[in-house]
């Protein structure tokens, strides 16, 4: 990438970080995915209970290895061998965790965090419950406003995740949202974090790389 393009990306990230801080969320900008894990290890004390939403971004940053390292108590709702009842119990435990980790579907220029779920486990934990939330997003998740966030969802995030999860939805077949009524629909519940009363509960790491969907 040309240096001029990198400069523009970094400038936009810094403006978005300023907007997030104005909305009572902490924000830090880093140059690469390799810088994410050291930050999380600095923030999350050994032995802390940690939940996580399904995220390609976190996987690309090496966070899964940290969660499975034994340094923290990982509340893994996708652990092999869990019954449906046990999986639900672990998911509910996220709401009392010390930390919850996830990404975003989009972040607007005005510092709004936009997320959409199939069963709301991720957005519920974002809104309330875990004592701390760390959210990681590549520069490709930055959008002008909520209208662009919705467009991004319909033309990238939802179709790509539906394909990743092998969902039997129209968007998985066509690559674009059809506003379907499929039982496997993954965009059922919407959340916009516009401002936080609890200053600093949410920490956002913006990465100058394209990460996730």
H/E run at residue 65: helix 63-67
Residue 105 tokens, joined:
């579907």
Chain centroid to CA 1: 25
Domains of the chain by residue range? 3-144+191-207
Exposed/middle/buried for residue 183 (C-beta within 10 Å: 0-12, 13-18, 19+):
exposed
| Sole residue written with tokens 């923290």 | 72
**Looking at the domain covering 3-144+191-207, what would its CATH class be?**
alpha beta
In the DSSP assignment, the letter for residue 48 is -
Q: Which pLDDT belongs to residue 113?
A: 98
> Does pLDDT of 15 surpass 90?
yes
> Does pLDDT of 149 surpass 90?
yes
Could you tell me the pTM of the whole model?
0.95
Q: Which pLDDT belongs to residue 74?
A: 98
Number of residues written out for the chain: 213
Contact residues for 67 (Cβ-Cβ < 8 A; gap 6+)? 50, 52, 74, 76, 101
The mean pLDDT of 133-144, rounded to a whole number, is 98
| Torsion angle defined by CA atoms of residues 67, 91, 122 and 163, in that order, rounded to the nearest 10 degrees | 80
The mean pLDDT of 142-168, rounded to a whole number, is 95
């Amino acid at each position: 990438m040309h240096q001029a393009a990198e400069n523009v990306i970094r400038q936009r990230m810094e403006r978005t970080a300023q907007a997030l801080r104005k909305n009572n969320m902490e924000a830090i900008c880093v140059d690469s995915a390799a810088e994410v894990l050291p930050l999380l290890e600095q923030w999350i004390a050994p032995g802390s209970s940690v939940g996580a939403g399904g995220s390609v971004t976190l996987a690309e940053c090496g966070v899964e290895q940290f969660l499975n390292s034994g340094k923290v108590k990982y509340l893994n709702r996708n652990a092999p061998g869990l019954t449906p009842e046990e999986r639900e119990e672990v998911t509910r435990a996220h709401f009392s965790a010390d930390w919850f980790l996830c990404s975003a579907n989009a972040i607007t220029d005005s510092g709004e965090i936009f997320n959409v779920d199939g069963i709301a486990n991720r957005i519920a934990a974002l809104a309330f419950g875990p004592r701390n939330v760390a959210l990681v997003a590549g520069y490709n998740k930055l959008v002008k406003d909520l209208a662009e966030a919705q467009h991004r969802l319909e033309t990238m995030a939802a179709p790509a995740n539906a394909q990743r999860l092998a969902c039997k939805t129209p968007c998985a077949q066509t690559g674009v949202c059809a506003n379907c009524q499929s039982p496997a629909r993954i965009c059922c519940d919407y959340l916009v974090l516009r401002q936080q009363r609890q200053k600093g509960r949410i920490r956002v790491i913006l990465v100058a790389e394209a990460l996730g969907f």
